[in-house]
Chains A and B, each alone.
Chain A
Amino acid sequence: MMNTRTGSGIPGDPRVGRLISIATAGAAENMATDQAILDSVTQSGVPVLRFYQWGEPTLSLGYFQRVAARSCHAHSDGIRCVRRTTGGGAIVHDRELTYSVSMPVPAGQAGPRSVLYQQTHQAIAEALACFGVHAVPFRLTGVDPRPETQNSQFLCFQRRTAEDLIVSGYKVLGSAQRKSRTAVLQHGSLLLTTSRHAPQLPGISDLLSVQLTADALIPKIVGVLSEKLGVDWKEDNLSIGEKRHALQISSDRFDASHWTSRR
C-alpha cells in the first residue's frame, strides 16, 4: 500500500503544478515518461499534468492482463503492443487525446483515488460541453453497474466503471491509476474518432458529427481542472533528469519484450 506521511520531506507546493506541452511519441516513450513523472512527483510533491498522442496505433495492455488475450481482438492484431503499469483493460490508442495527471496523495489514504477519477472526468465533461458534447459519468446513466470482478472484457472501452464518461450510450473516456508511496499517476484516453483497429468503439466525432481537436480541447480541460483540483498549472518542460530517467525506464521496461510478455 502506501506510505501515509505527507508534509515533511515534500518540499513542493501542491497548489502549483507543472503543465507539460503536448507531444506525440512512441508507446514506450509515452509510458516511460508517465512513470518518470510519477517518480518525480513522489519525490517533489509537485503535481504534473500532460497531454500526449501516439506516433503509431498502439494497443496498451492493463498491467495484469495476459498478452495471450490479444487473440480475442482481431482488429488490433499486428499493431504495436505495450504493457501499462496501470490497471484496467486494453486500449487501442490511435485517434484519441491522452492525458496524464500525477498528484501527491493525502495522508492515510489507501486504495484508488476515486476523487481524482471524478474530478478529472468532470473537468473533461465540462470542457466537452463547451463544444456542445453532452458527456455523463456512467454512474448517472441509470444502467446497473457490473461488479468489478465481472468487469473483465478485453478492451477497456467495453468495460464500465462509475466515472467513465458516456456519450450517446458509448464510453468515450476511461482512465486508470498507478500508486507510489506518496503520489498517484492517472492517465486516460478520450476517443475523438473511431480507429480502424477498434471499429466497435466510436469516437465523439462519429457519434455527434462535431470535430474536436486536441489543440482546442486542452486549454478548456486545463482551465476546469485547475478549479477542480485547486492547482494552478504553469507551463513547463520535462527536466533533463526526467528525460534521462524516462529513457532508462523505456529501455528496462516498456521497450523490453520481457515486460510486455510477462503475463
Chain B
Amino acid sequence: MSRDESKLLYAESHEWVDLVEEDGKTVGTIGLSGFALEQLNDLVYMELPELGRELTVGEEFGEVESVKAVSPLYSPVSGKVIAVHEELPENLEKLNDDPYEFGWIVKVEISEANTVESLLDHAAYQKQCAEAG
C-alpha cells in the first residue's frame, strides 16, 4: 500500500518526510513530492548521501540532474542517515509513478534537537504549490 501523502510533512523546498516511531526512536523517511517531480521533468542522475552522515535541517544531502540542471536536495529534518535507497539512482524513471513509496530517498534517525516547526502539513503545502502555479 502506498504511503498516504496527506499524512506527510513537507519542506518549502519540496521534500516530504514521514515520521514514524520505531523501537523508541523516531525515524524520518524522506522523498521528493510529486509536484516537484512534475516540475523537474525527467531525472537522469541522483546522488545519495553516505550512511551514517549527520544531517541538520536545511542541509544539502544529495543532488539531482534533469534537463541539464543540477539541483540540491535539502534535508527537512536533523538526524543520522540510517538507510539510503540504493536502487533509486538506477531506476529514476519509476519515481514519477510512485514518489511516496518507491520514491523514498533516505531514512534518518531523528535527533533530539530536531524541530518540525518549519515544515508544512499537506494542506499548507498544496496551497504553496497552487500559488507557485
* B is bound to A: yes
Which residues from chain A sit less than 8 Å from chain B, CB to CB? 1-5, 62-64, 85-88, 106-114, 117, 147-149, 151, 161, 174-181, 184
Q: What residues on B are CB-neighbors of A179 within 8 Å?
A: 69-72
How many pairs of A and B residues are in contact by the CB < 8 Å rule? Answer: 115
Contacting residue for A177 out of B11, B14, B15, B68, CB 8 A = B68
The answer to whether A176 touches B69 (Cβ under 8 A) is: yes
Q: Tell me if B129 counts as interface (CB < 8 A to partner A).
A: yes
Q: Give the docked Cα–Cα distance between A178 and B12 (Å).
A: 19
User: Within B67-92, which residues are at the interface with A (CB < 8 Å)?
Assistant: 67-74, 92
Q: Tell me if B4 counts as interface (CB < 8 A to partner A).
A: no
The answer to whether A111 touches B65 (Cβ under 8 A) is: no
The answer to whether B93 touches A86 (Cβ under 8 A) is: no
Secondary structure at the B interface, as helix, strand, loop or mixed, is: mixed
Q: Tell me if B132 counts as interface (CB < 8 A to partner A).
A: yes
Q: Give the docked Cα–Cα distance between A62 and B70 (Å).
A: 10
Q: What residues on A are CB-neighbors of B132 within 8 Å?
A: 4, 106-110
Q: What residues on A are CB-neighbors of B71 within 8 Å?
A: 1-2, 110-112, 179
What is the chain A residue whose CB lies nearest that of B73? A1
Q: Tell me if B36 counts as interface (CB < 8 A to partner A).
A: yes
How does the 8 Å CB contact mask read for B2-39 relative to A, with 1 for contact and 0 for none?
A: 00000000011111000000000000000010011001
The answer to whether A149 touches B66 (Cβ under 8 A) is: no
Nearest-neighbour CB distance to chain A for B41, whole angstroms, equals 6
Nearest-neighbour CB distance to chain A for B51, whole angstroms, equals 19
Q: Give the docked Cα–Cα distance between A148 and B95 (Å).
A: 15
The answer to whether B70 touches A148 (Cβ under 8 A) is: no
The answer to whether A109 touches B39 (Cβ under 8 A) is: yes
Known pairs A1-B73, A64-B45; A111 contacts B66 (CB<8 A):
yes
- Interface bin, chain B: 20 to 34
Q: Tell me if B44 counts as interface (CB < 8 A to partner A).
A: yes
29 contacts between A and B (CB under 8 A): A1-B11, A1-B71, A1-B74, A2-B72, A2-B74, A62-B65, A63-B63, A85-B70, A86-B69, A87-B44, A87-B66, A87-B68, A107-B132, A108-B133, A110-B14, A110-B71, A110-B132, A111-B36, A111-B39, A111-B69, A113-B69, A114-B67, A149-B93, A151-B44, A174-B68, A177-B67, A178-B69, A179-B69, A179-B70
Q: What residues on B are CB-neighbors of A3 within 8 Å?
A: 12-13, 74
10 tightest A-B CB contacts, nearest first: A108-B132, A112-B69, A111-B40, A88-B68, A177-B69, A111-B39, A148-B42, A176-B68, A64-B45, A87-B65
The answer to whether B39 touches A148 (Cβ under 8 A) is: no
Contacting residue for A180 out of B45, B66, B68, B72, CB 8 A = B72
The answer to whether A4 touches B128 (Cβ under 8 A) is: yes
